[in-house]
Structure 1
Amino acid sequence: MADNLTPDSNEPSSPASPPENGGGRAKEREPNWERAALERIALAAINEQRAARRWKIFFRFAFLAVLLLVVWGLFDFSGDKVSTGGRHTALVSLDGEISSDTNASAEDINTALDNAFDDDGTVGVILRINSPGGSPVQAGIINREIRRLRAKYPSKPLYVVVGDMCASGGYYVAAAADKIYVDKASIVGSIGVLMDGFGFTGLMDKLGIQRRLRTSGENKGFYDPFSPDTPAMDAHAQAMLDQIHQQFIDAVRQGRGKRLHETPEIFSGLFWTGEKSVELGLADAFGDADYVARDVIKAPDIVDYTVKESLSDRVARKFGAAVGDAAMHAMILSGKMQLR
């Protein structure tokens, strides 16, 4: 049995299977692998070039935009002088608070009015007002300039057209016009003066805070919100308010004349709708700018003379305001003596 299990040494052995030629096949695949790698590298390079090109285009457009803004800011597009031809109605808009640092300042409004009246093609002027009021000084300057221009150009009427509101300082300005046109729902009036503020002395006492204010001049700390009020201060402040109020009343009476139906409430600071203001003689009739230009002045073509704030002026104003606020804050913190 053992002999039968022993393989016959004379029997030829079966040939061994040849080993797989892995190295040869790898060599056959090498050209394809290199080609794929080169394609990936080339594609990555193309994508990188495209991205670089996009960024280059972006920066070029950004530079161009900045350059245009700089050029726009360097040139004055404020509209201080409007070149016109032909017969037209001049328009000047007074919007917002009347103040020396807004577009409704006496400087800007008077410049626009001067240009409007000075144009030979101007038949009449519309001053469109939408304002809650503001500085009595600025309003008074505009009021006097309107009366001066009306006297200088007697053939060119000036009409005020009221938008949503013509109150307080806004009406101070409007009173100088030849006529005042309103909408029935406009707010008109508020002929009065106010001075407001806060007092913190009671709160300071509760918190145990003591105000240390040193002045040269017994009234230099007048109406300091952290110091107690006195009857003398109240009397002095009220006298100032009454005097400015009387100036306002005189301007309204001078401008409106016999058209004004005076009642105890007229100069009390109350305000009325446009419809009621016509009844009281605070306004003359109803109408908007198009109506006045077309049917009253008889010159339907409207040319806007309103001074537009240029980009450079706007940036300078905001920068100046920021610097001023920072300087004021620094002075308050430092506690230095000041003349103000």
Structure 2
Amino acid sequence: MNMALLSWIGNRTPVMVMLAGFSMALDSQWLRELVNSVPDKVPVVSIIKLEGVIAAGGGGSNINLDGIRGVVDSAFSQQNLKLVCLVINSPGGSPVQSDLVYRYIKRAAEKKQVEVIAFVEDVAASGGYWLACTGSKIFATPSSMVSTIGVISSGFGFHEIIMKYGIERRVITAGVNKSVMDPFKPIKDTDMTIMRGLLNSTYKCFVDHVKNSRGDRLGGSKDIFSGEFWTGEKVS
């Protein structure tokens, strides 16, 4: 990953960036060459900002398919569209919503035959990095936090507290594993087996997604998939 700065430039070939009705120019030799490849037209670079926790619902405060569908459709509907930039600032969240958003943007890019690149602001961790992999290139500042390719599930156990106060837990189920990970009952070996299976399955999807998206750019280090995170400078 390399550092990318957004700033104003006076260039003979203007670059119009569409973001909720506001335009700016990008200072990049690579972008100058890109826009100069389309003579006699004003090329458009659309920006899609993906900021917040990745989760269903949230009334617009979260990143999810329902929330970004209209923004993505608008970004890819611009005339003379040459490039779409994802500006990402997310600590991650739902692997399902991460994949749905990724696939929706990817399909739009393939349909319009437009390149997508990703810019990392403060953080693109876990599901945020899943989204960053939508881009053919990923740019970050030296202090951006990136990666943490892994899956986690956490909670609390309260069974000793309710026993201390003489509270009896009453649960009736149909299905032996219906009450897996009940926080008011001691954890069972079967609970751990089930949860490990779920986490490992999701983790494999994440690893495969990153490998397929980034390819040879990953290098050969196994630490990449350890769940650790790094600064943009460390992984450049």
For the aligned pair, the TM-score class normalised by the smaller chain equals 0.7 to 0.9
Q: Deviations over 1:13-63 (max 9, x none)?
A: xxxxxxxxxxxxxxxxxxxxxxxxxxxxxxxxxxxxxxxxxxxxxxxxxxx
- What is the identity percentage for the equivalent residue pairs of Structure 1 and Structure 2? 37
Secondary structure of the residue aligned to 2:222 is coil
* 2:204 corresponds to which of 243, 246, 256: 246
Partner of 1:107: 66
One-letter amino acid of the counterpart of residue 81, structure 2: T
**Contact 2:44/2:78, CA 8 A, preserved across alignment:** no
Q: Does 1:148 align with 2:104?
A: no
C-alpha change, 1:81 and 1:131, in structure 2 (3 Å) is closer
One-letter amino acid of the counterpart of residue 102, structure 2: N
Partner of 1:170: 128
**Contact 1:82/1:115, CA 8 A, preserved across alignment:** no
Q: Residue 127 of structure 1: CA displacement?
A: 0.7
Please, which runs of 5 or more residues in structure 2 have no aligned partner?
1-18, 24-40
**Is the radius of gyration larger for structure 1 or structure 2?**
1
Partner of 1:328: none
C-alpha change, 1:96 and 1:81, in structure 2 (3 Å) is closer
**Contact 2:42/2:80, CA 8 A, preserved across alignment:** yes
One-letter amino acid of the counterpart of residue 214, structure 2: R
* 2:158 corresponds to which of 197, 200, 203: 200
Q: How many pairs were matched up?
A: 199
One-letter amino acid of the counterpart of residue 248, structure 1: F
Q: Residue 99 of structure 1: CA displacement?
A: 1.1
TM-score (norm: length of structure 2): 0.78
Q: Does 1:119 align with 2:75?
A: no
Structure holding more helix per residue: 1
One-letter amino acid of the counterpart of residue 93, structure 1: K
Q: State the Cα RMSD in Å.
A: 2.3
Secondary structure of the residue aligned to 1:266 is helix
**Contact 2:54/2:64, CA 8 A, preserved across alignment:** yes
Secondary structure of the residue aligned to 1:118 is coil
Q: Residue 113 of structure 1: CA displacement?
A: 1.8
**Contact 1:81/1:115, CA 8 A, preserved across alignment:** no
Q: Residue 86 of structure 1: CA displacement?
A: 5.0
Partner of 1:230: 188
* 2:87 corresponds to which of 128, 133, 143: 128
Q: Residue 108 of structure 1: CA displacement?
A: 2.3
TM-score (norm: length of structure 1): 0.55
Q: Residue 239 of structure 1: CA displacement?
A: 0.5
**Contact 2:157/2:183, CA 8 A, preserved across alignment:** yes
Q: Residue 121 of structure 1: CA displacement?
A: 3.2
Q: Residue 82 of structure 1: CA displacement?
A: 6.8
Structure holding more strand per residue: 2
* 1:88 corresponds to which of 44, 48, 66: 44
Q: Residue 197 of structure 1: CA displacement?
A: 0.9
Secondary structure of the residue aligned to 1:124 is strand
Q: Residue 184 of structure 1: CA displacement?
A: 0.3
One-letter amino acid of the counterpart of residue 216, structure 2: K
Q: Does 1:220 align with 2:173?
A: no
Q: Deviations over 1:292-333 (max 9, x none)?
A: xxxxxxxxxxxxxxxxxxxxxxxxxxxxxxxxxxxxxxxxxx
One-letter amino acid of the counterpart of residue 98, structure 2: A
